Structure formats: structure tokens, C-alpha cells
């Protein structure tokens, strides 16, 4: 909608540390459980989101999502936003670097 | 996030016909059921959304949401978007004209 995409992603396991320099990123857990590790001033912390919970990662904050079980999440972000951000750690084979797939 | 609000609304009954001239409006049904009547070229139609279903009303399209049962919906829209649009029919007493309430 407008210049934004609403995306649904099926995730499991550990994503890669990455950062979106120019956009916040909104997460809603549809099913399952999502942990988001955040590198903040003063140290690292992890937010744990159960089904129905939401969190917005502010632009510029390095983060790494992790799903301990098969999980579906809804994301809201500007069209073209890359799933691994503008900068990221080395990409393991299982990580999908994408701006989204058509349904 | 960014210049957008994510809103959760508890709705029941008939909203008012209205239009957002400058923005699309995204709906996700969290619980319950939402019908959205749309005035389109060629006539009126109604989309019926069960739990977990999504729909985007394009900018410029007159629409009227209706919830036959108590329903929770999630909306994405630019901050400041009015719940009754830029133009609307007469407002019944039960309709909340708002740009959102803080939690």
C-alpha cells in the first residue's frame, strides 16, 4: 500500500545480523515465536515475541531475528527493502536475501 | 514506524461511508470478521474478510467497513489519517472520528 509492502515470511532458525540505515522495520508474529537480538547503546538485548505481539526495530539498529520453531511473521516496510539490510554479516546458505517474492 | 501508524481497532457494527483521497488503507483481521463495502466503477461490491485475511482499499475509493460480530483489526496508514477519511457521510453517534488513541 502506498510505497510500502506488507510481507508475510515463514521463518525458522537464525537470520543474519543486519541493519536498515534508512527505515524502521515493523514485525507482527502471526504464528510461532520470534526473538530479535538488538545491538543497542550499552549492550545487546533480545526481545521475545509470542503470537500476536508486535515490535518495531528503529532504523540504524543492528538486529538478528531468530525463530526457535516454524514461525510466520508479517512485516511492514518500504517496497524494495532488502531482507538482509544495507549492511550485514556473512550470509549463511539458508538465509534468503530478497526484497520479497510474489504470492 | 517511519511516518506510519500501526493501529489496532476494536469494531462492531456499521462504520460510515468515507474516502481517503491521498492514501491507501491496509486492513488485517486479527479476530472476528470484517466486511468492506466498496463503491467502484460499475457498482458496489463487498469484500468479506475472515480472521487472518488482508485487504488494501486504494486511495480515492469510497468504502464502508462493517463488522457483524465484535472484531479486532490492524490497520497501516500514514500518521494523522482520520478514521472517517477526508470526506464522509453524516456521522452517527457511535462512530469514532479519530487519528488514533494512545495505548
Distance CA A95, CA A97 (A): 6
Q: Does B30 touch chain A (CB under 8 A)?
A: yes
pLDDT reading at B70 higher than 80:
yes
Q: Which residue of B has its CA nearest to A74?
A: B28
Contact A6 B54 (CB under 8 A): yes
Q: Is B1 on the interface with A (CB under 8 A)?
A: yes
Q: Give the pLDDT score at B92.
A: 87
Separation between Cα atoms, residue A42 and residue B82, nearest integer Å: 39
Contact between B1 and A54 using a beta-carbon 8 Å cutoff: no
* Confidence at residue B93, expressed as pLDDT on a 0 to 100 scale: 85
pLDDT at B103 over 80: no
Assess A75–B contact: CB distance below 8 Å, yes or no.
no
Residue A54 sits at the chain B interface (C-beta within 8 Å)? yes
Query: Cell numbers at residue A73, please?
Result: 511473521
Note whether A76 contacts B28, CB cutoff 8 Å.
Answer: no
CB contact under 8 A, B1 and A78: no
Q: Does A93 touch chain B (CB under 8 A)?
A: no
Nearest-angstrom CA–CA distance, A38 and A17: 9
Instruction: Give the pLDDT band (50/70/90) at residue B12.
Output: very high
Is the pLDDT at B40 greater than 90? The verdict is: yes
How close A14 comes to chain B (CA, Å)?
A: 24
Tally of CA atoms within 13 A in the half-sphere of B98 that contains its CB: 11
The three state secondary structure string of chain B is CCCEEEEEEEEEEECCCEECCCCCEEEEEEECEEEEEEEECCEEEEEEEECCCEEEECCCCCEEEEEEEEEEEEEEEECCCCCCCCEECCCCCCCCCCCCCCC
* φ/ψ (deg, to 5) at B51: -55, 135
Name which residue leads in pLDDT, A46 or B86: A46
Is the Cβ pair A24, B6 closer than 8 Å? no
Q: Residues B64-73: what's their mean pLDDT? A: 97
Give the residue from B64, B66, B62, B49 showing the smallest Cα distance to B14: B66
- From CA A33, how far away is CA A40, in angstroms rounded? 22
**pLDDT computed for residue B72 by the predictor:** 96
Q: Which residue has the cell 536475501?
A: A97
Digit-by-digit pLDDT tens for chain A (103 residues) are: 999 999 999 999 999 999 999 999 999 999 999 999 999 989 999 999 999 999 999 999 999 999 999 999 999 999 999 999 988 989 888 888 899 887 7
> Is the ipTM reported for this complex over the cut 0.90?
no
pTM: 0.86
Question: Which residue among B2, B6, B56 sits closest to A1, beta carbon to beta carbon?
Answer: B56
Q: Distance from A55 to chain B by nearest Cα, in Å?
A: 10
Amino acid at each position: 500500500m502506498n510505497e510500502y509492502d506488507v510481507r508475510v515470511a515463514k521463518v525458522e532458525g537464525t537470520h543474519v545480523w543486519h541493519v536498515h540505515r534508512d527505515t524502521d522495520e515493523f514485525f507482527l508474529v502471526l504464528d510461532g515465536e520470534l526473538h530479535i537480538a538488538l545491538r543497542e547503546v550499552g549492550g545487546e538485548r533480545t526481545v521475545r515475541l509470542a503470537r500476536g505481539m508486535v515490535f518495531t526495530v528503529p532504523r540504524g539498529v543492528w538486529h538478528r531475528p531468530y525463530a526457535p520453531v516454524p514461525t510466520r511473521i508479517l512485516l511492514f516496510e518500504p517496497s524494495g527493502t532488502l531482507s538482509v539490510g544495507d549492511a550485514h554479516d556473512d550470509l549463511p546458505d539458508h538465509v534468503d536475501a530478497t526484497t520479497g517474492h510474489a504470492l
